[in-house]
A and B are shown apart, each in its own frame.
Chain A
Amino acid sequence: MWRDLMALTRLEVAREWRHRERAWVALLTALLTASVGLIAFHEQADEAALLSATLWVSLVFAASVSLARSFGAERDEGTLDALRLLPYERASLLWAKASAAALRMAFVAALLLPLSWLALPSARVGPAALAFVALGVAGLALAAVTLSAVAVHARAGDSLLPLLLLPLAAPLIISAVHGFAHAVAGAPASEWRGPLLVLAGYDLSLLAASALLAESTLGA
């Protein structure tokens, strides 16, 4: 299983590199959303909350725009059937795509984070804040790719995905916004440990759910 996943992830990362304009589109979407948010709410007193909300809304928006067609693109290129027939566990197909998608979102987050110094000069982007970003980005990518697999055979599935992603990712977004705000504000660990555990639990649940769904969505 591990070797299957590595082989598929290698291909997906190669695809991600060859289609790197998709990462730029995601980054521009996130940057524009963040800029609008920061300008519109710049008078907010709670700068940490503003920074956190802006970052996560931008990431969710970028994910829903750029990851919606993970499997839809395969279908349109005529590569989906061949991919489904690879003699690998179908969960590996899903997780490999999610890994490449997480890489794309990590790139967006890495370039968005420096904005925190503009919005909140005293922001502490330490290990706790980075843990929120890592878990949040992984969860968003997995949720979007799993939904893309579910929606690939549905009529207007690609259009439905952004609508489905928000409710599915709600626990992730709420935990990430709360926890990240406390983490960058330098609050004690007791303030952000709870949301971080929720985020980790959410990711693990999603990992299990995607493994269970993979066969029914990508199989016969």
Chain B
Amino acid sequence: MSWRPLRPRRDVARLAQRIGKLSDLDSTWPLVLRLEGVHVKLGAHHVLRGVDLSVAPGERVALMGPNGAGKTTLLRVAAGLLRPDRGRTLVAGQAADQAAARARLGWASASDGLDARLSARDVLSLWARAYAAGSERVSERAAIAARVDAAAAAFAIVEHLDAPAGTLSLGLQRRVILARASLAGAGGLLLFDEALAGLDAAASEVAWRALAGRTLLLATHDAAVAAQCDRTVRLNEGLLAAEGV
């Protein structure tokens, strides 16, 4: 272990800066996600009708419900991809559409794809660098490469890292997308929209092992996937219908 001499002026300034940042946070912090009275109307259809939902650090929440219940819309609102007509969304106390909130969000959806000509390493490197931006510890090239290798190892895609994404099977592409989402900081929130669908049993097991301890909100129709979660929330016609453990 190496020690560096104290530099009082600089260290105090940094501490003050951090305290300043903390004071900007909403009082709901340390909840990772908080939706308050979220209402979304698309055209004439009320897709979400005053939804309240919270996710605590380390919690895994499954979102279930029939087609058209509003699961994808709820996840898009949580990610800040869609602005609700009423209500608010906070990610770690920050408004979901702020860059600071996005730094704590990992997103994977069944409808996501990859640029067929880019390799998994290209994609993961960009995301690792993006999530590390502003962090002195991980902004070095070697540290970024280490994060990419760790994510690839966790999702068992190491031997496919340099192949163009277009040459990978759909299951492997899905694992790359999951690995990309997992690069969001350890305290971050992962939002999965049917992102585990299409994985075989072995890949699914690998994914769940890699996601251990992560905060997760996932939409699924699969009871087996929901069973891996701490809590299941049911949506029906834009309303939270039931909640169970």
Binding site for B on A (CB under 8 A): 3-4, 7-8, 11, 14-15, 18-19, 77-79, 81-82, 84-89, 219-220
State the CA gap A82–B133 with chains docked (Å): 17
Assess the B113–A78 pair: CB atoms within 8 A. yes
Interface pairs (18), CB distance under 8 Å: A4-B130, A4-B133, A7-B126, A11-B122, A15-B118, A18-B117, A77-B113, A77-B115, A78-B111, A78-B112, A79-B113, A79-B114, A82-B112, A85-B80, A86-B102, A88-B99, A220-B80, A220-B83
Q: Is the CB of B133 within 8 A of A3?
A: yes
Q: A24 CB to closest chain B CB, in angstroms?
A: 15
Interface residue tally of chain B, by bracket?
20 to 34
Task: Please tell me if the beta carbons of A87 and B117 are within 8 angstroms of each other in the complex.
Answer: no
Known: A81-B107, A82-B177. 8 other contacts (CB 8 A): A3-B133, A11-B118, A14-B122, A78-B109, A78-B112, A85-B81, A86-B130, A88-B130
Within 8 A of A (CB), among B229-245: none
Asked if A14 and B118 make an inter-chain contact with CB atoms under 8 angstroms apart, the answer reads: yes
User: Do residues A89 and B99 form an inter-chain contact, with CB atoms below 8 A?
Assistant: yes
A55 to B111, CA, bound (A): 42
CB distance from B133 to the nearest CB of A (A): 6
- Across the interface, which residues of B come within 8 angstroms of A7, CB to CB? 126, 129-130, 133
User: Per-residue 0/1 for B90-118: is the Cβ within 8 Å of any A Cβ (1 yes, 0 no)?
Assistant: 00000011011011010101011111111
Shortest 4 CB-CB contacts between residues of A and residues of B: A78-B113, A18-B117, A87-B103, A220-B83
Given A7-B130, A220-B97, A85 and B107 touching (CB < 8 A)?
yes
- Is the Cβ of B81 less than 8 Å from the Cβ of A86? no
Q: What is the CA–CA distance of A15 and B81 in the complex, to the nearest angstrom? A: 24
B119-142 toward A: CB 8 Å interface, digit per residue (1/0)?
000100011011101000000000
Expressed in whole angstroms, the Cα–Cα distance for A82 and B195 within the complex equals 13
Residue B180 is within 8 A (CB to CB) of chain A in the complex = yes
**A162 to B: closest C-beta gap in Å:** 24
Q: Check B180 against A87 for contact (C-beta < 8 Å).
A: no
Known: A87-B131, A88-B130. A15 touches B102 (CB 8 A): no
Chain B residues positioned under 8 Å from A79 (CB to CB): 112-115
Q: Are B180 and A15 in touch, CB under 8 angstroms?
A: no
Q: Please, which residues of chain A bring their CB within 8 A of the CB of B81?
A: 81, 84-85, 220
Chain B stretch 51-106: residues in CB contact (< 8 A) with chain A? 79-83, 96-97, 99-100, 102-103, 105
In the complex, what residue of chain A is closest to B97 when comparing beta carbons? A220
Residue of chain B at shortest CB distance from A220: B83
Contacts of A3 in B (CB 8 A): 133
Chain A residues with CB under 8 A of B82: 220
Minimum CB–CB distance for B207 against chain A, Å: 17
Specify which of B83, B96, B99, B107 is in contact with A82 (CB 8 Å cutoff): B107
Measured in the bound complex, the distance between the Cα atoms of B164 and A87 in whole Å is 25
The smallest C-beta distance from A131 to any residue of chain B, in angstroms, reads 33
Q: Which residues of A contact B99 (CB under 8 A)?
A: 87-89
Question: What is the chain B residue whose CB lies nearest that of A90?
Answer: B99
Q: In the complex, what's the smallest C-beta–C-beta distance from A66 to chain B, in angstroms?
A: 16
Give A53 to B99 CA distance when docked, in angstroms. Answer: 44
- Determine whether the beta carbon of B126 is less than 8 Å from that of A11: yes
- Of A3, A19, A86, most buried by chain B (CB within 10 Å of CB) is A86
| CB–CB A87/B102 < 8 A | yes
